[in-house]
Structure 1
């Protein structure tokens, strides 16, 4: 069944040890769960220490939830800590981008 859900694959290049990334992403996940956008659905994070990369697979209720999540979370210190630990190298949208996302 096709719905309006948006799944995103984030590919990170680690700038710090994998443990630092795991700590940063854990803190961000806790804050998202407590105070984040309600349209953020299950997400999974994977670290490949030998390649110094990480991948996040995040489901959103719809494209508007992806935008709302970033409007809320980008200014959080937990997001700053994540960006200090890893560079977001690529974002892959696993459905066509809507006009909301393209702007």
Structure 2
């Protein structure tokens, strides 16, 4: 069994141009300075209302390490100002460290695991 984690984040845009500007800065920085366990990090969508991120992580430690690293970056702050995270679909194991991070950030209501809603999930 693999410990690989695949995540699809769905973003509802407040400011499409601001979001795309943030991505143009964030993606290259992630490639150069990001967590070594991040295997793929790609954004999709070109409409005025939504974007999606598909990210693949080596495992739970890489997922936690990636988020610990980038959340304070100004590029990520700009991305969050330009959009709201509407939903996250996560495929792969959830470690206790991941669960703690999910709980700390209040993501439980936006998270589907293995394609299934978890307790407290509601569509926004």
TM-score range, shorter chain: 0.7 to 0.9
Tell me the equivalent position of 1:59: 56
RMSD: 1.4
TM-score by length of 2: 0.74
CA contact (8 A) 2:6 2:91 kept: yes
Tell me the equivalent position of 2:40: 42
What are the equivalent positions in structure 2 for 1:1-103 lying under 5 Å apart?
2-16=1-15, 18-50=16-48, 52-103=49-100
Q: CA deviation at 1:60?
A: 0.6
TM-score by length of 1: 0.87
Stretches of structure 2 lacking an aligned partner (at least 5 in a row): 101-124
Give the structure, 1 or 2, with the largest relative contact order (CA under 8 Å, sep 6 or more): 1
CA contact (8 A) 2:23 2:79 kept: yes
- Partners of 1:43 and 1:37 lie apart in 2 by 11
1:52-98 Cα offsets, whole Å, 9 max, x none, are 01111100111111100111111110111111111111111112422
- Partners of 1:58 and 1:10 lie apart in 2 by 8
When the two structures are aligned, how many residues end up with a matched partner?
100
Stretches of structure 1 lacking an aligned partner (at least 5 in a row): none
Say which SS state the counterpart of residue 45 (structure 2) adopts: strand
